[in-house]
Amino acid sequence: MTVYMAKIAEQAERYDEMVTFVKEAIQVNGSLSTEERNLLSTSFKNVVGAHRNSLRIIYSVLAREKEKENEAQVNIVERYKEKIEEELYAICDDLLNLLNERLIPVAKEAEEKVFCYKM
């Protein structure tokens, strides 16, 4: 059921929820099928990609505000940038913990191990 929900979340472009469903599948199954590994990769790729895109925009806004020498706005944008960076670090830590604590230890096939190390 969680795999099905992950596919629906993907179609709806709700990647945060897709991550949650794939993580639930890992808790239930312990390891992932090829299809589930692809869902894991897609979900995290899109969540991380959205945050990276947000940071690109924020860096642009920050540069523009610095050119205007608008210190109040620069401080606001800096804080917002830090918030997004912290979210991105948390997402990456979450994935690394998932790989190191749940997936790599139970990976038996070479294909599973390669997938985990490539992530």
pLDDT in tens, the chain (119 residues): 899 999 999 999 999 999 999 999 998 888 889 999 999 999 999 999 999 999 999 999 999 999 999 999 999 999 999 999 999 999 999 999 999 999 999 999 999 999 999 98
Read off the pTM: 0.88
pLDDT, position 84: 98
Give the CATH number, domain containing residue 85.
1.20.190.20
- Quote the DSSP letter at residue 105: G
**In which domain, by residue range, is 74 found?**
1-118
The per-residue pLDDT for 29 is 84
C-alpha angle 47-23-109 in degrees, rounded to nearest 5: 105
- The answer to whether 52 and 87 are in contact (CB under 8 A) is no
Give the number of domains in the chain: 1
